[in-house]
Amino acid sequence: MTLVSNQVPEAFDLDFKSEMYGASDRDKREAATDVAALANTAGGLIVAGIEEDGQARAAKAPGVVLAEADERRIRQIVGSQVVPMPVVDVFRVEDPDRPGHGFVLIAVARSPLPPHAVLVNEGLRYPRRNGATTRYLSEPEVAAAYRERLAAGGRQSDRAREIEADALGRLSTADDQAWVVTSLVPDLAGDLALGQAALSAVRAALVNRHPLIMPSSLAWGQVSIGPCRLLADGSLNSGRTARWLSADLHADGAGVFAAHALRPAPGPPSSSDGTPTPRHPAVVADSVVNGVLSGLRFLARHARDRTAAGGNGRWGPGRCQTLVVAIERPRRVEVRPFPPNRRLVTAAMRAGRPKMPMYGLVDVDITTANRLLAGHDPPWSLTAFVVASVARAAAAHPAVHAYRNWRGQLVTHRHVDVGTMVEISTPQGPFALPHLLRDADIREVPDLTAELRHVKHDPSASSSGRWLERAGPAATRIPGVIPAMYAVMAKSVAARQRIGTVAVTAVGMFAGGGGFGITPLSLFSLEVIVGGMSQRPRVIDGQVTVRDILDLTVAIDHNVVDGAPAARFAAEFRKLLESATVISPSTVA
């Protein structure tokens, strides 16, 4: 065998195994680690049936027993113990001299989604090839790998926008031209050597061929070379503008495909008196579908066959957009009255101008809380959980929600009423209705959840909702009424009994990802702005695990409290959130 006779050594992309992986937990973990290590490096090959010597060189080739069950077991191990799952192929190569025996090749593709983790004792470890050996990534290396994964997605989107801008500049904008444009950028870039040989090969493959899936007369007319790409056109014109068909095929596997999409609009061929009725061209559904599907197929073949680009299709290796070019959009400006409910919001912001806010950006691990909240039908409210937690922390540190009255005296409440927002429907559109949750520092999460959902269903159940329904329309039309109302609320102890001293707002303002929200203070000395929630790696008991992280912004009025008490409050607030203490065992039961 060539590997043995040449004493080929193991490398970062080549691993020898004298035996096939077994069925024990240890063997499964070894198989998952070997596959993940290659995926985290540059891909590679595992060869089962090769013995190595003390210098990691191929020494003997005893082979292994070939069985289809082994192939299925390898795929199951990778699928269950490596996250995210890399692309793996398993091949059996039979020895002609020993039927039923041979070698098993496990090919691991170069992955666009490192780092890949292996489940070890309910924790995640991140292996990587280091020459002929395997090591585990340190915490800074894991963090850097995750940042690179996110940055790669951003670079892919930037690349798509770049090639689209170049391609759109080549499209004809004549009156009889409208386009369906599809672009694709592979996860893993390929490489095509541009030259006369490549140009001749593409010309032979495209010219006079019909690229659309559904029957059409459109065909490629010419192919030329542009900067770092091949340019295909559906016409024979020598100018820079493409007509009918266009393609930009880049050397790295990216590409843009555009097809003519105008068709005669459906309608009667003639009027009632027999006079022909003009049928203006329009973009119809079948043209759009044909252009998008044909473009994806055309660009995918270019990336795979010409440039050897790759990627994991389950994660969307391309970006697709549909554009209609050369149809003028009517331009208009609409002027309408400022919605009365927005006057309430702007007046509240003005009332908070005298405040001097201190902001703290805090990311909190709420994995335990999420599990407990989701364990009910229907699930308990995340808003209610945050309200209960901040209220208990404020009760333990009352200075953070103090305020000054008309005489300049400092007023501190020993109870905690929390104001939050409940989105309701109004004739002017959705409106965030302020609602006061009284005595939130001693109430349970299910009780607060039920009250919030009741107010959302019936806004009149809230005092704010009743006021908005009865007096709101008139108050917002009288100049000066709303600002005067907020000025009273800012200083009056009696008014504060009705509106609270703590605010929780903007729950989930960054849906689908993390992010911090910054808002100006309104009437409240203490505000908690709840941003986005995302999954991120955290070190728990020395192991890197994926946790649910909630981004919070805490705003405290520096006029009434110093930094040290504010820091103690923030530490207490974090502790309550991460331990989910407010969801008591008796409540969960």
- What burial class does residue 244 get, using C-beta atoms within 10 Å of its C-beta: 0-12 exposed, 13-18 middle, 19+ buried? buried
Digitized pLDDT (tens) for each residue of the chain, 589 residues in all: 688 888 889 899 999 999 999 889 899 999 999 999 999 998 899 999 999 888 888 888 898 999 888 888 999 999 999 999 998 999 999 988 888 899 999 999 888 888 999 988 778 899 999 988 899 999 999 999 889 888 887 888 888 888 988 888 888 877 667 788 888 888 888 899 998 999 999 999 999 999 999 888 889 999 999 889 999 998 887 777 888 899 999 999 999 999 888 765 555 554 445 555 545 566 677 888 888 899 989 998 998 899 888 765 433 344 555 555 544 545 678 888 877 767 767 776 776 667 788 889 999 999 999 989 988 888 999 999 999 999 999 999 999 988 888 888 888 888 999 988 888 777 666 777 788 899 999 999 999 999 999 988 888 887 765 555 555 566 666 666 667 666 667 777 777 788 888 989 865 555 567 788 887 767 788 999 998 888 899 988 888 999 999 999 999 988 888 889 999 999 999 999 999 989 865 444 4
Angle in degrees, 0-180, between the axes of helices 563-579 and 367-374, rounded to the nearest 10: 50
How many angstroms separate the first and last alpha carbons of the chain? 66
Q: Three-class SS of residue 362?
A: strand
DSSP 515: -
Cis bond before residue 378 (omega within 30° of 0) = yes
Position 247 scores a pLDDT of 93
Q: For residue 553, what are the β-bridge partners?
A: 361, 529
DSSP-assigned states of every residue in 42-101: T-EEEEET-EE-TTSBEEE---EE--HHHHHHHHHHHHHHEESPPPEEEEEEEETTEEEE
Q: Which domains does the chain have, with CATH numbers?
A: 2-137 (3.30.950.30), 153-266+281-315 (no CATH), 340-588 (3.30.559.10)
Please, which residues have CB within 8 angstroms of residue 538's CB and are 6 or more apart in sequence? 365, 544, 545, 546, 547, 549
Of 475, 477, 450, 449, nearest to 464 (Cα)?
475
Q: Which two tokens stand for residue 375?
A: 């364990």
DSSP 6: T
Cis bond before residue 114 (omega within 30° of 0) = no
Q: d(Cα 261, Cα 263) in Å, to the nearest integer?
A: 7
* Cα 311 to chain centroid, rounded: 18
Q: Which two tokens stand for residue 212?
A: 């659309």
Dihedral class, residue 361 (left if φ above 0, else alpha if ψ from -120 to 50, else beta): beta
Q: d(Cα 547, Cα 239) in Å, to the nearest integer?
A: 56
Q: d(Cα 537, Cα 138) in Å, to the nearest integer?
A: 13
Q: d(Cα 20, Cα 90) in Å, to the nearest integer?
A: 12
Helices (H) and strands (E) in the chain — how many of each?
Answer: 16, 27
Of 445, 447, 422, 441, nearest to 573 (Cα)?
441
- Residue owning tokens 């540059």: 42
Length of the chain: 589
Q: Three-class SS of residue 425?
A: strand
Position 271 scores a pLDDT of 47
Q: Three-class SS of residue 325?
A: coil
- Contacts of 423-429 spanning 24+ positions with Cβ under 8 A: 423/456, 424/456, 424/459, 424/465, 426/341, 426/468, 428/339, 428/340, 428/341, 429/339
Of 558, 539, 563, 557, nearest to 549 (Cα)?
539
DSSP 381: P
Query: What distances in angstroms separate CA 499 from CA 239, 438, 485, one per listed residue?
Result: 70, 9, 12
Query: What distances in angstroms separate CA 31 from CA 41, 162, 417, one per listed residue?
Result: 16, 41, 56
Position 521 scores a pLDDT of 67
* pLDDT (tens digit per residue) in 123-140: 889 999 998 889 999 999
Q: Please report, rounded to a whole number, the percentage of residues in the chain having pLDDT higher than 70.
A: 83
Q: d(Cα 305, Cα 323) in Å, to the nearest integer?
A: 27
Position 313 scores a pLDDT of 40
Dihedral sign, Cα of residue 26, residue 27, residue 30, residue 32: negative
How many CA atoms does the CB half-sphere of 334 hold within 13 Å?
Answer: 4
Task: Name the phi and psi angles at 11, rounded to 5.
Answer: -145, -175
Q: Is the whole-model pTM more than 0.75?
A: no
